[in-house]
Chains A and B, each alone.
Chain A
Amino acid sequence: MKKIYITLFLLFAMTAQTAFAQGAPGLLGNRFSVFYNMDFFYNVGQYTYNEANKEMPDQPDGMIAATVSMFTNPGVNITRQHNIQLDYSITRFKSIGIGLSYFRNGYGTIQTGQRVDVASKNLTSISGSIFYKTFLRSSGGFAPLGNYYQYGLHANQVQESTRENSMLFDEPRNYIGRQYIIPSFTFTFGRQFIAYKSLLMNVGAEIGTVYPFRGFSLDSLENSMERLALFYTFRFKVGVGLAPF
């Protein structure tokens, strides 16, 4: 993983080095911008996630009521990925960037039989990314403001874990699962603009895929890789940022 991060950093540094010679306006001359972004989309078929993290009720009746409510009142669950991104304007209409993301997602399962158990198959992903952004001159964009297209390459370090609640245990039990790295690609269409004074906002929609590409179905979401693929398929983006230097 370290190697991947070092490679990403070197790629960024080399491109930035070339860019320094060309000159770009940036925002008020500040060519670096930092964003906190949240990528989000509705949970699809994962409505049990939050419930799985709760302590099981002491009494069987209460426990049954809780599990039933998972299905009957799922509420609106949003899957989120938190992302810090550093952009550098290389020309008037182009910028490159690196990012670090954190993503956590679970999938609840209910086993019924002699006893009712609730388990959450969780995945935690920390990813490093590089981005290339093109701001649309047709709408008057100039890095880092205006409508843009962004191409992103991500390396996701995924950690699987299981959390199980059972009448047999005094408290939920956690099991560490496998760990693996998976690359993904994204394409974003968005808009960066000034919300107030020099506070930047970023809104957009993103599509993407993981490699190797895999299809998914609601039945197979227990598999963490497929859940990751699903999340990358389509999501919205909202962020705030600054151009400090």
Chain B
Amino acid sequence: MLLLAQDFNNYQSLRSSGEIPDAFTQSSSAKYEEAITVNSSKTIKNFHLKSNFGLDELLKSGEVLFNDPISKYVSSIADEILKDDPETRKKLSFYTIKAVSVNAFATDRGEIFVNAGLLAHLNSEAELAFILCHEIQHFVLKHNLNSYVYQDKLKKNTSIYKRNRQYDRVVSQHSYTRNLENEADEMGLKLFLKSKYSISDIAHVFDVLGKAHTTHSNEPFDYTFLETDLIKFHSSYKLKKVNPIVSYEEDDDELSTHPSVKSRREKINGLLKAETNDDRKSFIVSEAEFNRIQKIAIYELCDVLLKYRSYPAAIYHAFLVEKKYEASDYTRKIIIKALYGYAQYRNAERMNEISSSPDSIQGEMQHVFYLLKMLNDDELSILAARHCYDGHKKYPKDLGVEYMTKDMVEDVIIYAIESPDDYFKTSKSENSETVDTNNFAKSAFIDIWEEEAFKKMIENGKRYKEKFDKDDFENMSNSEAYAKYKKLKKKKKKEKEVGLRLGIDSLLFINPAYITIDGRKNKGMKYIESEQKQLKYKEWIMEFADKLDLDVKVLDKNHINSKTTAEAYNDIVLINNWVEEVLDHNMFMICSNYNEILPIVKKYNATKFVYTGAFHVRSRKNLFRQAGNVFMLGTPLSLPYGAYHLFKPKHNMLNFTLVLDFDKHTILMSEGNYTNLRNHDATVKTNLYWSMLQMKRKKKK
């Protein structure tokens, strides 16, 4: 139904629907208990412990969808493949991952994940069926478990591996997993041949694997996609020739977990020699359905790329969407968001966080990377501001675009134009017909500068610039700067001492976290304890909310139960994505999914989101220091000191709290209290209480 309801002009990103699967509601520790028996070896127990908790982390990451159109379609193909083996089919469940990479994988629990990026690359249902057969065999043949056991043997240096070097062990492990892949290929093909899917489609699967690092299509980029009447790019900004797309089909696989694509293709071709394609089809379930599902996957990738902050790639994907399907409000908004994001990072001089070198890009997408890199700061800000402003005029009800426009136009004044009055005076006297569009930084706003809305944004920009200039240390004398520095330092010290007074009454806590790790002898994460403590942590939040008379709601992806609805789960995922984006940006910036959060904010009546938790590590003590402590036992004077430090365990704990303001798109409170105290409940609770107290306390009048 959702599929039919999907309006591609105003595409809504994929969401989960229907009943929440047990895999999401059952706790990881319960799954672990179910998986092991009394006779299970330590290795097997470790495998189930790590795999259950690790997979649940992925399952509840928000990237995984259930009962969405893609998952349902993939399930229907699995029904077709396994129609003669209902027992195996019953054990399997299929999920979509909102990820760009070309990948699918299976777990020992029978979950098979398919990335949206994979679907975008395929040509037919039969190709997807071949991939599913391969993954189903990984599950049937228990490859994950076997691989873990083998790796464990290597780690323990038992038997023949005892004298092996690290390099040999890695090669040995990879050789083993390559064998498992070959086995899955071979057995998967057998399963595939039982179906009526076309064997001639298999060849394209290997083509896709060879070029998995590139975009799903390589359409020649048209620069007019980003140009307007007043913005034309200088020819020097346009790349003459792009890097060719290189296939990695023949790469050496010695250090790879997978065999080379070439060897896999040859092996499958060899097994297919005796087979014919008679009565076999590329589509059995539905060709129309495949096309629609692929369309959804391709649209989805634009959103995913924005979330990854891969702004040039998002622009090129929007271009591909328009080429393959049609221009839409959705793709125009993707361009606005991508240009806005890219310009924000450029203005903040944080390009190293988001951009790859154009030289490393293969195919037509390189044009976009090159163009954005070549634009100078002024041009980039002005290009983004103009696209935002046009978008705002076209979609006046879109609050996200409106805020991006205001922010971007203000940024033009703050970052791009040194003297705004001179700039506009010069531009205003020019005739738009003679505008040098190659120097669009001067002329890009010529047709809108008289518009009231635009003028207002410019005036706001001037005000902010004045304020920033006033606060800028570079514009102060040494003594003024020093006095201000001292004042700020004193303020910060006082803030730390007596805390903040945020005066908030209503809060939404997102995924309270509690992780405890035993760093001694590589014991690693204490999964079960962490899960239990996480539940306790949630209870403490409610306890202090009562104590402080705070209106608190907790949305926790880690502890959803059978009563949780898919709608509530989607809320958690969306807010989580928003929080992650805010944290990634770590500056004033409108997030790409702003509009999706608005209804949730209204629903929960809370505009302040809290991300809080505790992270505890018990680590190994320094042997040299321990020797010193033993030495200290030798004299009566130092004996108490030596004895205390000899037996005192080493703990490190971080209690963190972030309070995000949805209205102001800023971080209101960012506190990370590092301590060397043990993670006693009272210690963790005290930190939590202090954070919540600061949220509640009102400013003094």
- Say yes or no: is B499 at the interface (Cβ < 8 Å to chain A): yes
Given the complex, which residues of A lie within 8 Å of B255, measured CB to CB?
none
Q: Is the CB of A23 within 8 A of B498?
A: yes
**Distance (whole angstroms) from the CB of B615 to the closest CB of chain A:** 12
Interface 9-residue window, one of A120-128, A139-147, A157-165: A139-147
- Say yes or no: is B686 at the interface (Cβ < 8 Å to chain A): yes
Given the complex, which residues of B lie within 8 Å of A236, measured CB to CB?
640
CB neighbors of A among B533-555 (8 A) = 547
Pick the residue among B496, B636, B689, B697 that contacts A42 (CB under 8 A): B636
Q: Is the CB of B682 within 8 A of A27?
A: yes
Given the complex, which residues of A lie within 8 Å of B641, measured CB to CB?
205
Known: A28-B682, A28-B685, A93-B497. A140 touches B674 (CB 8 A): yes
- Say yes or no: is A194 at the interface (Cβ < 8 Å to chain B): yes
Given the complex, which residues of A lie within 8 Å of B680, measured CB to CB?
194, 197
- Say yes or no: is A193 at the interface (Cβ < 8 Å to chain B): yes
Q: Is the CB of B677 within 8 A of A91?
A: no
Q: Is the CB of A23 within 8 A of B678?
A: no
Known: A22-B498, A236-B640. A92 touches B690 (CB 8 A): yes
Given the complex, which residues of A lie within 8 Å of B605, measured CB to CB?
none
- Say yes or no: is B693 at the interface (Cβ < 8 Å to chain A): yes
Interface on chain B toward A: helix, strand, loop, or mixed SS? helix
- Say yes or no: is A106 at the interface (Cβ < 8 Å to chain B): no
17 A-B residue contacts at CB 8 Å?
A: A23-B498, A25-B499, A25-B686, A27-B682, A28-B682, A92-B496, A92-B497, A92-B499, A139-B675, A140-B677, A142-B675, A145-B677, A146-B676, A194-B680, A194-B682, A197-B680, A197-B681
Q: Is the CB of B496 within 8 A of A25?
A: no
Pick the residue among A91, A93, A198 that contacts B682 (CB under 8 A): A198
Closest to A192 in B: B677
Known: A23-B499, A25-B686. 6 other contacts (CB 8 A): A23-B693, A25-B693, A94-B497, A140-B674, A141-B675, A142-B686
Closest to B653 in A: A140
CB neighbors of A among B635-669 (8 A) = 636, 640-641, 644, 653
Q: Is the CB of B673 within 8 A of A29?
A: no
Closest to B641 in A: A205
**Distance (whole angstroms) from the CB of B546 to the closest CB of chain A:** 12
- Say yes or no: is B683 at the interface (Cβ < 8 Å to chain A): yes
Which A residues have a C-beta under 8 Å from some C-beta of B?
A: 22-29, 42, 91-94, 137, 139-142, 145-146, 193-194, 197-198, 203, 205, 236
Given the complex, which residues of B lie within 8 Å of A139, measured CB to CB?
675-676
**Distance (whole angstroms) from the CB of A204 to the closest CB of chain B:** 10
Complex Cα distance A24/B686, Å? 11
Q: Is the CB of B636 within 8 A of A142?
A: no
Complex Cα distance A137/B497, Å? 9
Q: Is the CB of B499 within 8 A of A142?
A: no
**Distance (whole angstroms) from the CB of A57 to the closest CB of chain B:** 31
Closest to A27 in B: B686
**Distance (whole angstroms) from the CB of B276 to the closest CB of chain A:** 72
Q: Is the CB of B678 within 8 A of A193?
A: yes
Given the complex, which residues of B lie within 8 Å of A24, measured CB to CB?
498
Which 8 residue pairs of A and B lie closest in terms of their CB atoms, listed nearest first?
A140-B675, A25-B690, A194-B680, A236-B640, A140-B674, A91-B497, A198-B682, A22-B498
Given the complex, which residues of B lie within 8 Å of A29, measured CB to CB?
547, 686, 689, 693
Complex Cα distance A193/B648, Å? 11
**Distance (whole angstroms) from the CB of B74 to the closest CB of chain A:** 48
Given the complex, which residues of A lie within 8 Å of B681, measured CB to CB?
197
Given the complex, which residues of B lie within 8 Å of A197, measured CB to CB?
680-682
Given the complex, which residues of A lie within 8 Å of B677, measured CB to CB?
140, 145-146, 193-194
Known: A26-B686, A142-B686, A205-B641. A92 touches B498 (CB 8 A): yes
Given the complex, which residues of A lie within 8 Å of B682, measured CB to CB?
27-28, 194, 197-198
Complex Cα distance A23/B681, Å? 22
Complex Cα distance A92/B655, Å? 15
Pick the residue among B498, B653, B693 that contacts A91 (CB under 8 A): B498
Complex Cα distance A93/B690, Å? 12
Complex Cα distance A124/B676, Å? 39
Contact with A along B463-507 (1 / 0, CB 8 A): 000000000000000000000000000000000111100000000
Pick the residue among B498, B640, B675 that contacts A146 (CB under 8 A): B675
